[in-house]
Amino acid sequence: MTSTTDTRISIAPRHRLPAASSWTLTIAVVVALLALLPLGFVLWAAVVTGWEMASQLIFRSRVGDLLANTVLLVVFTIPICAVLGVALAWLTERSDLPGARFWSWLCVTPLAVPAFVHSYAWIGMWPAFNGLPAGVAISVVAYFPFLYLPLSAAFRLLDPALEDQAASLGLAPFAVFRRVVLPQLRLALCGGALLIGLHLLAEYGLFAMIRFDTFTTAILDQFQSTYNGVAAYMLALVLVLCCFVLLGLEASLRGHSRYARLGSGVARRPKIARLGRWKYVALLLPAATAAFALGIPVLTLGRWLIAGGAGVWRIDEVGLALWQTLVICLVGGLATTAAAVPIAWLSVRRPTRASRFLEGCYYLASSMPGVVVALALVTITVRTMLPLYQSVATIVLAYVVMFLPRALVSLRASIAQVPVEIEQAAASLGRSPGNALLATTIRLAAPGAAAGVALSSLGIMNELTATQMLAPNGTRTLAMAFWALTGEIDYAGAAPYAVLMVAFSLPLTFLLHHQSKKIAGR
C-alpha cells in the first residue's frame, strides 16, 4: 500500500511548475500581452470601423498605389540584396580575396548609418534622384548587411565534406554550389530577407526624404496633417496584413528541413577557393558596394560639415540632444533586456509549448512597424490613460515591443551557455532558487545581457518613426533633431547629428559582427 501512495506523491508535482517558474511565466505572459497591444489595437480598430466604412477606406486608388509601391520595393530590393549578400559572403568567407577580413567589416558597417541618413547622403549627392529606383538603390545599401551577416555565418558553418562528397559524385564546382551550397543557405536567406522586408515596410525617414510613398509614410502624413484617425487605422491594417504576408511567405519557404551537419565530430575548415587572375575583378564588387554604402554618406557628411564649419556644432543643442538620446537609449535598452529575461530563462531552462508560443508572440509583436506601434499606443493612451500620453513609460513600452527580440537572442544564447548543473550546485550548497539563479546563471550571462542592452540601444538610437510620435514634450533626440533640420533644408546643420549617430552606432555594429563570428565558433 505504501508503495502506491509513494508513487502518486512522486508523480503529481511533475505537472506543476515550481513556484519560481510560475512567477517567471506570469511575468512573461504580462510582457507578451503588452507586446501584443498594438496588433490587438489594429484588429480592434478594424472591427469597430465596420465593413462598409473599412472597405471604403481600403479599396481606393490611394491604397492601391501604396500597395503597388510597397510590392515593387520589396520585389526589387530583396533579390538584389540576396544576390549581393551571397556574392559578398562567398568572396569574404570562401575565397582568397585580398583583404577579405577588412571587406567583411566594411560589409557590416553600413548598419551603423541610419537608413534616413543614407537617404540624406544620396540626395545630397544627386538631388533629383527619387521614386522607386532611388528607394530600391538606397534600401539595398542600407539593408544588405541584414543578409550578409547570416549568410557569411552560414558559409563559415557549412560542412566542406558535403561539397567534397558532391564532387566525388561527379558534380562540377558550379553544380556543387547550386545543388549543395545554395540549399544550405536557405535558412540564412529566408531570415535575412524577412528582416529586410519588415524594415522596408516599417521605414519612414528613408522614403519620406526621397518622396517615395509607402504605407508607413502615408500613415505618418495622415497622422501629422489631418489627424484622420480611421483612415490611418485602415492603412495600418493593410500594413499589418503585408507584414503577415511576409511572415507567412518566410515560414513556408523556410520549411522544416534539418540543415545541421549529421554525425559526430567537428567539421573540417572550409576550403578557400583560389580566384587567380579573377582576384582583381572580384575586388570590384566589395569596393563598389563600400563606395555606395559608406563612401556616399562619408562624402556628403564631410562636405556639409566643411560647408557648415564650426558654426553647426551648437554645443548646447547638439549636446542636449546627445544627452537625451543616451538617456533614452540606456533606459530603453535596460527595460527591453529586463523584459526579455523571463522568457529567455524559460525558453532555455523550461522549454515548453507555452514558452515557445510566448516567444512567437514577441517576434510577431516586434514585426509590427514602428508607426503601427506608435499609432496604437497614442490612441490607447489618449482614450484611456491621458497622463501616459507622450510619457517616458509609453515610449519605453514601444521600444520594448519593437526591440525585445534583439535582447532575447543575446540573452538566450548566453543563458544556454551556462550549464544548469552550476545553478543546481549552488542550490545544493544551500542557496535559495532565486539566490542561486542570481549567483550563477545571471552573473555568467551578464555579457549576453550587456550585448542585449547594446543591440536594443542601437535600434532605439536610430529609431525615428515611433520616437517622433511618442516622445515626451521637449524631447529632441539626435534622430529627431536631424529630421527636423533636414525638413528645414538645413543640411549642414543636420550633419553633426548624423555624425554622432554613426559614431555611437559603429561600436555596436562591430559587436554585432563579432557576435555573428562567435556564433559560428570562430
Interface residues with another protein (CB under 8 A) are 159, 161-162, 164-173, 176, 179-180, 183-184, 186, 257-265
Phi, psi of 273 (to 5 degrees): -75, 140
Classify residue 61 as exposed, middle or buried by CB count within 10 Å of its CB (0-12, 13-18, 19+): exposed
- The distance of closest approach from Cβ of residue 254 to another protein in the complex, given in angstroms and rounded to an integer, is 12
- The distance of closest approach from Cβ of residue 170 to another protein in the complex, given in angstroms and rounded to an integer, is 5
- The distance of closest approach from Cβ of residue 166 to another protein in the complex, given in angstroms and rounded to an integer, is 7
C-beta of 258 vs 277, nearer to another protein? 258
C-beta of 269 vs 277, nearer to another protein? 269
- The distance of closest approach from Cβ of residue 148 to another protein in the complex, given in angstroms and rounded to an integer, is 22
The residue type of 460 is I
Cell digits for 131? 521614386
Q: Are 43 and 166 a contacting pair, CB within 8 Å? A: no
C-beta of 131 vs 173, nearer to another protein? 173
C-beta of 176 vs 236, nearer to another protein? 176
- The distance of closest approach from Cβ of residue 91 to another protein in the complex, given in angstroms and rounded to an integer, is 21
**DSSP H/E element including 416:** helix 392-416
- Quick one: which of 180, 160, 155, 185 has its CA closest to 170? 180
C-beta of 277 vs 383, nearer to another protein? 277
C-beta of 159 vs 359, nearer to another protein? 159
How many C-beta atoms surround the C-beta of residue 27 within 10 A? 15
How many C-beta atoms surround the C-beta of residue 357 within 10 A? 10
- The distance of closest approach from Cβ of residue 21 to another protein in the complex, given in angstroms and rounded to an integer, is 31
- CA 31 to centroid of chain Cα atoms: 19
Classify residue 389 as exposed, middle or buried by CB count within 10 Å of its CB (0-12, 13-18, 19+): middle
3-class SS of residue 98: coil
> How many CA atoms, within 13 angstroms, populate the side-chain half-sphere of residue 470?
29
Interatomic CA distance for residues 133 and 139, integer angstroms: 10
- The distance of closest approach from Cβ of residue 86 to another protein in the complex, given in angstroms and rounded to an integer, is 17
Report the DSSP beta bridge partners of residue 89: none
C-beta of 186 vs 476, nearer to another protein? 186
- Between the CA of residue 180 and those of 244, 251, 259, what are the distances in Å? 30, 21, 11
Cell digits for 316? 548646447
C-beta of 265 vs 387, nearer to another protein? 265
Q: Is 463 left (phi over 0), alpha (psi -120 to 50) or beta?
A: beta
- The distance of closest approach from Cβ of residue 511 to another protein in the complex, given in angstroms and rounded to an integer, is 31
- The distance of closest approach from Cβ of residue 180 to another protein in the complex, given in angstroms and rounded to an integer, is 6
C-beta of 10 vs 264, nearer to another protein? 264
Interatomic CA distance for residues 331 and 325, integer angstroms: 10
- The distance of closest approach from Cβ of residue 281 to another protein in the complex, given in angstroms and rounded to an integer, is 22
- The distance of closest approach from Cβ of residue 419 to another protein in the complex, given in angstroms and rounded to an integer, is 25
DSSP 219-269: HHHHHHTT--HHHHHHHHHHHHHHHHHHHHHHHHHH-S---SPPSSS-PPP
- Between the CA of residue 452 and those of 13, 245, 334, 335, what are the distances in Å? 35, 28, 9, 11
C-beta of 175 vs 330, nearer to another protein? 175
C-beta of 180 vs 398, nearer to another protein? 180
